[in-house]
Amino acid sequence: MSSEMPFSSAETLDQYLLNHNLRLSFDGYAFEEWQNQLTSNLKECLGPFPEKPVPLNSRVISTEKFEKFTLHRVIYDSRSDSPVPAYLLIPHGIREKSPAVLCIHGHVPEGKANLVFGDGQYGVPYGRELAEQGLVTLCPDNAGMGERAHPSGGCDFLWRRLNLLGHDLTGYRVYDLIRSVDYLQSLSEVDETRIGIAGLSGGCWLGIVHAALDPRVQAAILSGYFTTFAQTSWFGHCICHHPKGIGELCEMPDIAGLIAPRPIFVEWGNQDTSRPVHPAFEITQKIYSVANAEDQITLHEFEGGHVFSGQRSLPWLIQELSG
């Protein structure tokens, strides 16, 4: 005999979400105090981070020349036991310190290779495109992807093991990106004051957090995952977007607000309905307005799906870093 009692945990949790309060979501007042408090709490949520960086111990594994740039396969150490493989693209003819972009790949099996050798399935291969336009680009593999993949699985495998040890996968990957900026700043070709980032999908999520925590990032393209946890993580997006307790702390656009007043360019394909940019963009836009930086946040909605467009964002980033 069936019961009419509502036993579904999902329905109960949906009700919890409706009544949920975010402890450090921006309330429109005391911007700098809020920014400092959320930054501190976010680091605690995503950590622990290493107390001091290890030597990069960088090395070039191979070199290949292309028409407009030279590609170096490089490795550098993020932690003492965690080497990061990456592609470093140096445009031909560089004679002085130049702008550089850290390119963060999304959830694609080939990892960094898609940023240089992609066939357009995920949009413009922005690592290659920016190098062809004269900027140094660095394209590392995120932990669990590309050359760093594991036969047992990617994000889920890493998340479970890191969680067991009291660590977070987003924090683990973002620390790799922080060390990637360290590596870029060590290069003789790079102007260490003109470093930007660009990321699609999971790379957009990591880019939001990285730029929020690393003030050396001067400008950021955030493509394809500028959204809210309530509209995505709640409905089953990858577990790597689920830092433990993040929803008790803030929403994703709050994290993006930590980047202010530095410039960001958000792009979104209007057919990418499972990762909606609204109202996340408007929430972050209000934070930028309070920070007197309303002209430093831009949105380009284009006809298309979950891809990196680059039509307006790449010229914007080149101008921001070159100007």
Rounded to two decimals, the pTM is 0.94
In this prediction, residue 1 carries a pLDDT of 46
In this prediction, residue 3 carries a pLDDT of 55
In this prediction, residue 21 carries a pLDDT of 80
Domain ranges within the chain, ordered by starting residue = 30-322
**For 164, left (φ over 0), alpha (ψ -120 to 50), or beta?**
alpha
**Strand residues in the chain grouped as ranges (E):** 59-65, 69-79, 82-91, 98-104, 136-140, 190-200, 217-223, 264-269, 297-302
Q: What is the C-alpha to C-alpha distance for residues 148 and 260, in angstroms, rounded to an integer?
A: 32
CATH fit for domain 30-322, picks 1.10.10.10, 3.40.50.10860, 3.40.50.720, 3.40.50.1820: 3.40.50.1820
Q: Which residue has the tokens 């959320």?
A: 38
* 89 bridge partner residues: 71, 137
In this prediction, residue 6 carries a pLDDT of 61
Q: What is the pairing mode between strands 82-91 and 297-302?
A: unpaired
Measured CA distances, 251 to 176, 199, 301, 307 (Å): 23, 19, 22, 23
In this prediction, residue 238 carries a pLDDT of 82
In this prediction, residue 210 carries a pLDDT of 98
Average pLDDT of adjacent 10-residue blocks, the chain of 323 residues = 63 75 90 96 94 97 98 97 96 95 93 96 97 98 92 82 92 98 98 98 97 98 96 81 89 98 98 96 98 98 98 98 90
